[in-house]
Amino acid sequence: MKTLVIDAQGGGLGKQIITSIKKDYPKAFVMAVGTNTTATAAMLKAGADEAATGENAVMVASRRANVIIGPIGMVIADAMLGEITPKMACAVAQADAKRILIPFANCDNYIAGISETSIGKLVDDAVGYLKTMLDNKTDTKIC
């Protein structure tokens, strides 16, 4: 199973996700794509098996992934301070992959129900779902 982690800005969220995946599944294949080199470097340092940067990398990696995990902004054009281009958002949204979206209420997007939830809990929940898929070898196709 190919897991794609996408992040922007400083890559802190992607770094947390990859660290958590690799802790329990060191042999899991994790691709990382950052919208900028800082985000990419942070995720590569966390243990990503492959890494790339930019719009075209998001588009190509989204086609190859079985699971895409990252902030909800990755499916919202112009999110993350404008780092998510419309082509990136479309590529992730239309990918033939299971998407695990971590809800963040920032950058002019309010997501009801998460205002009291810590980033750590959100990451734990998202990665916990991925780990269940890895343990059960769950079909990643969306019905």
Contact 59, 27 (CB under 8 A): no
In a domain, 141, yes or no: no
Residue 127's identity, in one-letter code, is: V
In a domain, 129, yes or no: yes
* DSSP 3-state of 12: helix
**Predicted structure pTM score:** 0.89
In a domain, 114, yes or no: yes
Whole domain around residue 66: which residue ranges? Answer: 2-136
What angle (nearest 5°) sits at the alpha carbon of residue 1, between those of residues 87 and 86?
5
- pLDDT by 10-residue block (mean), the chain, 143 residues: 95 96 95 97 98 98 97 92 94 97 76 77 88 75 45
The secondary element (H helix, E strand) that includes residue 28 is: none
How high is the pLDDT of residue 95?
A: 97
In a domain, 40, yes or no: yes
How high is the pLDDT of residue 111?
A: 78
What angle (nearest 5°) sits at the alpha carbon of residue 7, between those of residues 121 and 88?
130
What angle (nearest 5°) sits at the alpha carbon of residue 104, between those of residues 102 and 105?
155
How high is the pLDDT of residue 35?
A: 96
Number of domains in the chain: 1
In a domain, 143, yes or no: no
Task: Provide the CATH number for the domain around residue 111.
Answer: 3.40.50.720
